[in-house]
Amino acid sequence: MPKPPAVPKSAAARKRPPQRRAAPDAALADSGKAARSRRTQARILDAAEELFSHHGIYGVSIRDIADRAGVDTALLHYHFANKDGIYEAVMLRRAGDVNEARKRAMDDYARKSGGKPSIEGIVRAYMQPVFERLRTGGRGFNNYAALIALANNSALWGGGTVKEYFDPAVQRLVDLLRLALPKAREEDLYWGYQFLSGALTLSYSRNARIEGLSHGRCRANDYAAIEPRLVAWCAAGLRALGACR
Partner DNA sequence: ATTATCTATAGATCTATAGATAATGC
Q: How many residues bind a copy of itself (CB under 8 A)?
A: 66
Nearest to DNA of 82, 194 (CB atom): 82
Which residues have CB under 8 Å from 153's CB, separation 6+?
201
Instruction: Please report whether residue 85 would count as binding a copy of itself according to CB under 8 A.
Output: no
Q: Which of 30, 37, 153, 236 binds DNA (CB under 7 A)?
A: 37
Instruction: Please report whether residue 42 would count as binding DNA according to CB under 7 A.
Output: no
Instruction: Please report whether residue 46 would count as binding DNA according to CB under 7 A.
Output: no
Q: Which of 25, 58, 112, 178 binds a copy of itself (CB under 8 A)?
A: 58
Residue 66: count other Cβ atoms within 10 Å of its Cβ.
20
Instruction: Please report whether residue 179 would count as binding DNA according to CB under 7 A.
Output: no
Long-range contacts of 31-40 (CB under 8 A, 24+ apart): 37/79, 40/69, 40/71, 40/75, 40/79
203-232 binders of a copy of itself (CB under 8 A): 203, 205-210, 212-214, 217-218, 225-226, 229-230, 232
Angle among Cα 164, 170, 172 to the nearest 5 degrees reads 105
Q: b vs e for 76-110, b when ≥16 Cβ sit within 10 Å of the residue's Cβ?
A: beebbeebeebbbbbbebbbeebbebbbebbeebb
53-72 binders of DNA (CB under 7 A): 61-64, 71-72
The interface region with DNA, picked from 24-32, 147-155, 178-186, 217-225 by CB under 7 A, is: 24-32
Q: Which of 77, 157, 160, 165 binds a copy of itself (CB under 8 A)?
A: 157
The H-assigned helical ranges of the chain are 11-14, 33-55, 62-69, 73-80, 83-93, 95-112, 119-136, 138-152, 162-180, 186-203, 209-213, 223-243
Cα separation, 108 vs 213, in Å, equals 39
Cα separation, 2 vs 38, in Å, equals 28
Q: Which residues bind DNA (CB under 7 A)?
A: 2, 5, 8-11, 13-14, 18-24, 31-34, 36-37, 40-41, 61-64, 71-75, 77-79, 81-83
Q: Which residues bind a copy of itself (CB under 8 A)?
A: 2-4, 54-59, 84, 149-150, 152-155, 157-158, 163, 167, 170-171, 174, 186-188, 190-203, 205-210, 212-214, 217-218, 225-226, 229-230, 232-241, 244
